[in-house]
A and B are shown apart, each in its own frame.
Chain A
Amino acid sequence: MKQFLTFVFVLTITMTAFSQNGIVRGIVIEDESGFSIIGANVSVEGGGTGAVTDLDGAFSLSLPVGTYKLNISYISYQTIIIEEIEVKDGEVNVLGEIRMREDAEELETVVVTAQAIRTSEAAILTIKKKSPAMLDGISSSLMKLTGDANAVEAAQRVTGVSIEGGKYVYVRGLGDRYSKTTLNNVDIPGLDPDRNTIQMDIFPTALLDNLIVSKNFTADMPADFTGGLINIETKAFPDEKIASASVSIGYNPAMNFNSDFLTYEGGGTDFLGFDDGSRDLPAGAAADVVPTPISVIGGQFTEQEANDFVSSFNPTMAADKQTSFLNYSASVSIGNQLQLGKSEGANQDKGTLGYIFSLSYRNDYTYYDDVFYGEYQRLAQSEVNELDYANIQEGQIGEQNNLIGILAGIAYKKANSKYRLTAMRLQNGEKRAGEFTVDNNGSAVGQSGFLAVSDNLEYNERSLTNILLNGTHVFGDNGWELDWRLSPTLSTSDDPDIRRAGFSTNGTEPFTINAGEEGNPARIWRSLSEVNAVASVDLTKNYQFKDKKAVLKFGGRYTYKERDYEILQFDVQFFGGSQSFPSGDPNDILVPDRIYPVGNVYVQSGNIFPNPNEYNSTASNTAFYISNEAEILPNLNAILGVRAENFVQRHTGRDVIHAQGGDGNNLEDEKVLDALDFFPSVNLIYGLTENMNIRASYSRTIARPSFKELSFAQIIDPLSNRIFNGSLFTYSDWDGNLMETRIDNFDLRWELFQSRGQLLSVSGFYKSFDNPIELIRIPTQQTSSEFQPRNVGDGQVYGVELEIRKSLSFIAPSLQNFGLNLNITLVESQIEMTEREFNSRENFQRDGEVIDDTRAMAGQAPYVINAGLTYANPQIGMDAGLFYNVKGRTLEIISSGLYPDVFFRPFNSLNFSLNKKLGKDQNTAIDFQVSNILNARLERVFSSFEAEDQFFSRFSPGISFSLGVSHNF
């Protein structure tokens, strides 16, 4: 590693007051490592002024209007002269990243133009090629160049990254369990608290400093990722004044301006992403005994109270057709940096102040007109291969999604200290209405056989509030650097008033409510709140090892998470008499004439207190690490490190039997996970030539069960009726003891870097999983679909990965603006089946079928292909890309024997994006995108020996178009 850290104060730049001035800014980084160079000299050729780069490698020069040449020099590096730097009155000329190369012998000088710095090699180069950890990323200069609007668009340019649902980013085809996303290097829960990864489409690129994807672990990273760690870093000091506004519209022919769109009358503030209280739980509903005919007989309530109670539930139970509008979004971003204390004559550095602010709003409509949920079974006769349906639910779903995002940050930097405070708030509401027909097959196992219609209404309200306080300090010339962070986050996810109502339609009486068939109408309230708090301290010491630079890092991090979760559920019941509804309209169920005591409708509580569907979990993780990076042999760099994490998860919850007053299971803040783990990591990089490396690494990582997985919760998906069971239930051969998965990772990689950011690499990797967790369909439950996360047999994953980033100029020089990104990962995964699983598969063995005692690992795709064809022409401000992504057929849910394995079918995602900057100063940009060009469908299927695949679920997202305009003022 190069000696890039010498600590020098930023010199005060004295403004010349008598003439008109402009500002020139840039960041000086070391070419090989991508790290900032602190203390490089920046001088104006032929002039007296100059600057020294600060702890970010940044410099800022205030110069009179004119054209300048800058000379940038640093000991043992090639001097760079940048020509044709124009300084205009009151404007900031941002040079971007200036890369210096070490050149101890020749000390030659490189001369480039300002334009070249901004638009070519330096900016496009994103790989930190000599970084000992395998990193890939996108810098703000590249994002600026490509014009990507948000972090997802930027991330799809990183090789090896797959985008799911336009929001979530995964690495190497490993699922959510093995991925992790952090914001400014701290854990934050996503809007969907059951995911490890956060949705990235909410971060506008204007406010991002960089996005780094780490494919292997080093000791300074959290140990709970295995596939990839994605870190989003927000800007602290914008290079230039940002004052931009953007609007965009989206159109999907199947979803927008569709008169069949389904919705329902919600609250007055739904468009702002939260409920106005109209879906609140009715008063008195969360009591041990609610007013019903039964409690009226018991003397606890009056008939009037029972009537009032039912009437206090919103009578809307039916989905409503309403024409959907266009998708639209708008955002404003501002930001700047100000040099303080530059008043005339002052010779005192009062530092630099930076601020950012962004407000965005989005309204999206999604409509699926052919939703399908199926349950298929194998037949008892082993000579029959084809599957038979147990239950088919088909229909339409309409979703309206509103998102408001606010991000604000303020930062202050002096010569050797930097502070920043960032706050973020996301508010998201999703209103969903569905209409289905149900066909239940009476001759299938465990099914009663009926035809029905059903309406579902849901509202999901989510919020996320995050604050980050961060300080960085360098201590003079002694090579020490300190970074500390404090970051609390509060997130909520509530489903107030989920409503479902179904009518049986078979037999002679149309539209009856039959408890044994489609079930009684139900109302469900779910709420979740989670607090996260992170405090971390990292210390870095730069020193000499055998006359070469070496870095020692150590630090600690404390993470605390606490989640409260509760489900309350209610059933509409009938106190004798008729349960037929000639209209078949769910809105006719809770009408005054039918409500007890006038009619026979009442609402019964499904809740016990203490509630078995309520839990509180906490997790604390205390981590320390030490890591050393040094060139131990010529051209052989090594990072050796170890991280210790002491993770304690506690749970307060109980099962139904305890809640009802029996013994049962009851945990009061008891430890459900308690482990001190050491995570060693060895990363070796051997430089074959300056542009060619061989890397080898070993690390140990962990995947821990989530709060939901380590609970007694039983969560029913109101749409599909599938039930999730927490793993704490002891059942049959499951001991209720869900353990962490520990993973040993081995990587070997050869890589070649070429000019203009071109890259070629071949890697092999091997991962061994100790006690992997998978979602199991409970084999003995045949009446309904119940699932439970369990540890399964040990697993192994091995694969090869090919990465290419190539300019097409090798075909013809005229194609130099075209680039090809290609990443192919082939993976073989293997899990040793438990005896139970093997037996239940053998029970349903078809004639001629061979049952192996190993199978693929759930969630691991056998191959992942990411390909991108890009066109970038900074001269005319145009950037376009065609991105293709596919993940091989992936096992998702493990067979119970009766029900076969469920696989996720390859989704051939092809997206196009085009950005064009307009205007003299390229201040206006147009962003055009087409998503899912191949009109692929999201399909999960049951798959059995020599049988036709049958759908487990199916959605058609359709092709969507969006057009956006942004302007920087």
Chain B
Amino acid sequence: MNLRLLASLVVMLGLLFVACNNDDDDTANPNFNAPTLSAPTGVTSVEADGSGSVDFTVSIDSDLTATYSAVGTGVTVTNTSGDVSGSTVTINYDASSVAGAASIALTVTDSEGQSVSATAVLNITDENTIVVTSNITSDATWTADKTYILGGRISVESGATLTIMPGTVIKGEAGTGPNATALLVARGATLMAEGTAQAPIIFTSIADEITPEDVAAGNFASPNLDPDINGLWGGLIVLGNATISASNDNNEDISEVQIEGIPTSDPNGLYGGNDDADNSGVITYISIRHGGSNIGEGNEINGLTLGGVGSGTVIENVEVVANQDDGIEWFGGTVDIKNAVVWNAGDDAIDTDQAWAGTLDNFVVVTPSGSCFELDGPEGTYVARHTIKNGTVVAIFGGRVTGGSLIDVDDNTPVDMENIHFVGPLDSDGTFLTITDDEVGNTTFTNVTFDVPMGDLANLMEQGGAVPAGISAGGSPVADVSVLSWTWASQAGGLDGL
């Protein structure tokens, strides 16, 4: 008897739970439930001139019948009206030839005259647009006749080679945090992105209306975005197996760390090793724009991130425009870069960490929001020197002022700076930009010139300190900008007079 009681209590309890789900009130008609209708969540993609169908979920009072009517915007609906049967209404449509947003509005009316509407959002994609959502695990080639949309954080995984043809446009979808998009070349993977001065490879945001046709026509500037708009997508991250100075070097175990901007939930973000001649591929004539979205507090993606990239990798003729974090950042490694422009970085322009052992040769930096140079030393006992030479820096231009230091080195930064000129003026509202943040210890300067009067040179030093050897007033731009004429910065006049 008591077990029976127990069983009936269990049933009652169950009914109580079920009952809680049935508290929809239908104020419209007390006798019949109002119809309900829902469109699919999210955006359905369809190719231009293609066709497709959308399923709406509907519920009608079991005692009633209902009809539907559908109106398409940007698409032509082929079954604009009909009777509702079952719990699904399928609307078929033909997409127009114009890429962009489209929608289908569906109205369901029951035999009591109660009606409900819902709208499905469509996105008509250019048939020449390819949305990339999966990691690249086997060799792939991206060609200039199509635009590639990065639908997320796409990794080229170890062993795979991604070849990008000259003139190809790659666009990252918008998002922040886990939703940020980026192209990551993992350790052991290869990126062959060999653009040309006539047909550079453009990495930009989905908001950028630039097309491969624009690039083919020689118009490398964004038709619709200003060159200071940043943070719209992530960036290009290349990781390798070269040495990094991330800790004591008495054990090989910690020779790998996780790259800034990628959470540890993604092991493709690990970099570092002991192969200094490692080859991550060839990267030439690429322009990276409007990137730098963050994944968390102070954890952003640089325009071009190079983590432990080895000297077998070729990187030449690179432009980074309007990145929310740093322009180019090296984390150890041995790779060199020749011919680079960093324009309107949201943080530092040139950033080095973990004892990068390479050379940056011939470059122009224009108005970063952070420091022009943020140069850090080894984080372990492994020490290697890097060289930054033949550069021109424009710290103040067109209303933008460098927000950080001109040069920020730590007391142990092993860097040799040679033939670098800072274009004047270097004083904003009577406040001079400073050269260094910390003591200059391990850094050498050779022919580093500032276009300020001789008497103002000491004012550039932090707290009016002594001027290190190799730094002088005067001078003139040293970078060879003729090889940078392909860049947006050059086309926009940003390199004029340099």
Contacts and interface: CB of A to CB of B under 8 A. Distances in A.
Interface of A: 287-289, 292-295, 297-300, 380-382, 440, 442-443, 445-446, 448-449, 469, 471, 473, 482, 484, 486, 488, 506-509, 512, 514-520, 533, 535, 537, 569-571, 573-577, 579, 604-609, 612-613, 655-657, 659-663, 712, 714, 716, 721, 723, 725, 729-732, 778-784, 786, 788, 836, 839-840, 842-845, 897-898
B135 A514 contact: no
B464 interface: no
Contacts of A299: 100-101
B214 to A, nearest CB: 15
Nearest to A381: B381
B197 interface: no
A606 B265 contact: no
B369 interface: yes
17 contacts: A294-B174, A294-B206, A299-B101, A448-B298, A449-B437, A576-B229, A604-B174, A604-B175, A604-B293, A608-B179, A656-B265, A660-B151, A779-B254, A780-B257, A783-B261, A840-B253, A842-B250
Contacts of A518: 297-298
B341 interface: no
Interface in B248-268: 248, 250-251, 253-254, 256-258, 260-261, 263-267
Given A516-B324, A656-B266, A898-B247, A300 B153 contact: no
Q: Which 7 A-B pairs have the closest CB atoms?
A: A660-B152, A661-B133, A606-B177, A516-B347, A576-B229, A294-B207, A662-B134
B217 interface: no
B356 to A, nearest CB: 15
A608 B228 CA distance: 26
Contacts of B404: 506-507
Nearest to A611: B178
Interface stretch (B2-10, B138-146, B159-167, B449-457): B2-10
B427 to A, nearest CB: 10
A288 B429 CA distance: 44
Size category, B interface: 35 or more
A780 B263 CA distance: 11
A514 B207 contact: no
A712 to B, nearest CB: 7
Nearest to A716: B296
A380 B154 contact: no
B299 interface: yes
Interface of B is mostly: loop
Contacts of A613: 178
A577 B153 CA distance: 27
Contact of B135 (A287, A662, A898): A662
Contacts of A515: 231, 292, 294, 298, 300, 324-325, 346-347
Interface of B: 2, 5-6, 9-10, 13, 16-17, 41-43, 100-101, 121, 123, 131, 133-135, 151-154, 174-181, 205-207, 209, 224-226, 228-232, 245-248, 250-251, 253-254, 256-258, 260-261, 263-267, 270, 292-294, 296-300, 322, 324-326, 346-348, 369-370, 374, 376, 378-381, 401, 403-405, 408, 410-411, 428-429, 431, 433, 437-438
Nearest to A454: B297
B175 A575 contact: no
Interface of A is mostly: loop
B428 A508 contact: yes
A33 B10 CA distance: 34
B362 to A, nearest CB: 26
Contact of B205 (A294, A446, A506, A509): A294
Contacts of A484: 2, 6
Contacts of A842: 250-251
B438 to A, nearest CB: 6
B178 A661 contact: no
A843 B5 contact: no
Contacts of B175: 604-606, 608
Contacts of B298: 440, 448, 515-519, 721, 783-784
A660 B268 CA distance: 15
A186 to B, nearest CB: 13
Contacts of B42: 287-288, 609
B43 A604 contact: no
Contact of B152 (A662, A731, A732): A662
A294 B101 contact: no
Contact of B347 (A514, A537, A662, A731): A514
Nearest to A487: B13
A893 to B, nearest CB: 16
